[in-house]
Chains A and B, each alone.
Chain A
Amino acid sequence: MDAQELVWPAALNDDGLYRRIFRALIAVGASTDEASDALQEAYEQILQQKAPPDRIDGWLFVVAQRRWRRQRLRRRLFAPLAAARAQSVKAHEKGTVLSEVAKLPMRQRQVFVARHVLGLTNDETARALGIASGTVSATNHHALQVLRERLGGDS
C-alpha cells in the first residue's frame, strides 16, 4: 500500500466537500432526501475505486447525479401515486436563482452547477461530464445568458 492510497480516502472525510456536492445536487434539482441518498451511494462507490479520480468533487458530483436521476425515474414510474405527486412538488420558491436554474435544461444545469457551485474549470467540467471543453464553454455561456434575461435587473 503506497502513501497515495493512505491519503486519498482521507480527503473524503472533508465535510466541506460533502456540503458542496450536496448543495450542487440541490441546485440541479434533487430534494434534500434524494441528495442524501444519492451522495451516500456515490461515497460508497468511490471507496471501491483503486486510485483517486482526477477531481474527487467532480467525480462524486457526476456519480451522485447519475444515482439521483436513476432513483427519480424509478420513483416516478413505480412509486405509489401519492408519493409520486409529492415528489413532483417544486421545493424552490419563485423568484429565486435556484428556481430559475431548475428551469434550465438538464445539460445546462449540470454545466452551470459544476462551474459555479463546485468551482470546476472548463476542462475539469468537460472531463467530469465526458463532453468537449468547447461545449462546456458554450453551454455555460448560454445558461448565464438565460439566467440574466430571466432574473433581469434584480440580480
Chain B
Amino acid sequence: MNDLSPADRRIVNRLNAELSAIAVPPRQTHALGYQGSPLRSFSSLLRQLLPAVGARRLSVAVAVLALLLVPVGVAVAQGGLANVIPVFIRQPVEGLRFVLSPPTTVESDAALQRLLSFPLWVPSDLPCAGPNQRIYDAATRSASFVYQCLAVTERSSETTFRPVVDAGTLEEVSINGLPGYYYQTTVVMPTTGKGQTSATLVFEREGTLVTLVPLPQHASRDAPEVLLGKADLIRIAASMTRVHAQ
C-alpha cells in the first residue's frame, strides 16, 4: 500500500469509500441456521410472510387463488384455451420464419479479436488441423472456430446462454481448478427421423463463455466417428491461450 503514487492512492481510497457505502447484510454465524440469500431461499420468505400476514389470512388467500386457478388448469389440460395460454405446443408449428444474417468469415485470430469486446481463446493443444474457418456472427455477437475435429464457439459471459441438455448427462468438471459443464444433446434430424447425439463442454474464462463441441470424422459415409471424448475436451480447454488483437 505504501508504494502507491498520490493518484493511485486517491483511486484506492475512492474505491474503499464506495465499498464502505454498500450495506453488508447481517452475518449468520451458524452454518445450519443459514437460510441462504433471497436469491436461493424461498422458504425463508415464507417464514417472514407467515407472522406478518397471519396463518389464517394466508390460507384463505391460497384457497381463493387455488379456486381461481384450478378451472384454468383443467381447461388447459383438456386442450381448451390453446390459443390463449401457449403452454403446450400440440401441433407442429407452421409458418415460423427464421431471419438469417450471414456470418462473416475472418482471416486471422487477431482480426476476429478486433471485432469482439471480450477476450478470445484458442486451443494450443489440439490433435487435428485448423482452424479451417473463423466466423464472426454479428447477430449473436459470437465468434466460432471450426477445426477439423472440433467447433469452438465464444461469446461474452454477460449474455444469456441456455443449452438444451439431455436428462442425466449434465456433469460438473474441473478445468485447471475452475468449473465447467459437460453434457450431451440429442437432436432428431427432421429428414431422417434419427437422433444425433453430440457432447459439449462449456466453461467461462475471464469474461468469455466458451463451448467446445467435437466434430464427427467422416471416415465412412454411414458411420461418422467422434474422436474427442470428455477427457480430451477438458485437456483442450486447459490448453486454451488468449488471442491478442495486434
Establish whether residues B31 and A44, one from each chain, have CB atoms under 8 Å apart when the complex forms: yes
Tell me if B194 is interfacial: C-beta within 8 Å of chain A: no
With contacts A27-B15, A98-B18 taken as known, whether A105 is within 8 angstroms of B207 at the C-beta atoms is yes
With contacts A18-B27, A77-B202 taken as known, whether A106 is within 8 angstroms of B207 at the C-beta atoms is yes
Interface positions, chain A 78-106, Cβ under 8 Å from B, are: 78, 81, 84-85, 88, 96-98, 101, 105-106
Nearest residue in A to B28 (C-beta to C-beta)? A40
> Which chain A residues lie closer than 8 Å to B23 at the CB level?
32
DSSP class of B's interface residues: helix, strand, loop or mixed? Answer: loop
Establish whether residues A77 and B8, one from each chain, have CB atoms under 8 Å apart when the complex forms: no
- With A and B bound together, what is the CA distance between A66 and B177 in angstroms? 9
Tell me if A55 is interfacial: C-beta within 8 Å of chain B: no
Tell me if B225 is interfacial: C-beta within 8 Å of chain A: no
Distance (whole angstroms) from the CB of B207 to the closest CB of chain A: 7
> Which chain A residues lie closer than 8 Å to B204 at the CB level?
69, 72-73, 76
Distance (whole angstroms) from the CB of A117 to the closest CB of chain B: 7
Tell me if B100 is interfacial: C-beta within 8 Å of chain A: no
Q: Which listed residue (B8, B19, B37) contacts A33, Cβ 8 A?
A: B37
Tell me if A8 is interfacial: C-beta within 8 Å of chain B: no
Most chain A CB within 10 A, of B4, B27, B28, is at B27
Tell me if B77 is interfacial: C-beta within 8 Å of chain A: no
Establish whether residues A37 and B39, one from each chain, have CB atoms under 8 Å apart when the complex forms: yes
Establish whether residues B15 and A33, one from each chain, have CB atoms under 8 Å apart when the complex forms: no
Tell me if A139 is interfacial: C-beta within 8 Å of chain B: no
- With A and B bound together, what is the CA distance between A72 and B39 in angstroms? 12
> Which chain A residues lie closer than 8 Å to B15 at the CB level?
27, 97-98, 101, 116-117
Q: Which chain B residues have a beta carbon within 8 Å of chain A's beta carbons?
A: 1, 4, 7-8, 10-12, 14-16, 18-20, 22-25, 27-29, 31, 34, 36-40, 119, 157-163, 172, 177-179, 181, 202-204, 206-207, 209
